[in-house]
Structure 1
């Protein structure tokens, strides 16, 4: 099962995780990541953020990442949900969840998906602090994290 969504509505990580619950005994591990909006950003304290995307293209990029993860690891389930629009500190921004028969595959696939998502999916962040606002630039550390998956094998022996 694969579910991918981009949404303005609030994100409920527990409900998303529940979708990954094993119902037929194939799943041996579920690994998930929930990204939250912080009170600090690239240029200091922030009180909000606006996430913009390119409709259609964003979903297509998420689908491509999901397909890449499913080719690289033996996954039973995959859920990718990303918020767009206005967010406040503490709001969940992104949920990545995978199920697999084996824990190693689930951990690696989840880590790959969040690393790659941050650099390969057309999303733009504008942080706000009072009346000030600025667009967030891509970080070299995010690019390096995504590149490491290109430079190493992504196929688990399990």
Structure 2
């Protein structure tokens, strides 16, 4: 299992190379990569702040829950912080499991958690100034299904 909260970019190919390989109990690997998007058309960057120890522990705890709930063979969660430009990778989740349903469901669970509960504070930087990002109802609704 790997949980990393880091400012530097990650190499998706390198992270996934060999993930789940060499294990006779893995029949499915699912991965998701999130990128910074600009819904308003005026955003220049997204800045993420966090408390290092708290954030790492919180994500590790939810990974532990996913591993227990779906009997995962392996998990990678990488989440970046700092100032990120439009189109930059912000996070990735990868799950490995015996069956695809478990790998997909666990990945979705982790992504929903990261979107709505991981302790990050997000600020949009735009041409007209900065503003803090507020939680969206649809993100909260997505988390309720778990």
> TM-score w.r.t. structure 2 length?
0.94
Q: Deviations over 1:76-126 (max 9, x none)?
A: 110000000010011100000000110000000000000012122100111
For 1:5-154, what aligned pairs fall within 5 Å after superposition? 5-41=4-40, 44-149=41-146
| RMSD between superposed Cα atoms in Å | 1.3
Structure 2 residue matching 1:40: 3-state secondary structure: coil
Deviation at 1:45, TM superposition (A): 2.5
Gaps of 5+ in 1: 150-158
Q: Deviations over 1:31-66 (max 9, x none)?
A: 01100001325xx53111111111111011101110
Q: Which runs of 4+ in 1 moved over 4 A?
A: none
Deviation at 1:15, TM superposition (A): 1.7
Gaps of 5+ in 2: none
> TM-score w.r.t. structure 1 length?
0.88
Q: Deviations over 1:4-53 (max 9, x none)?
A: 00001112222222251411322110001100001325xx5311111111
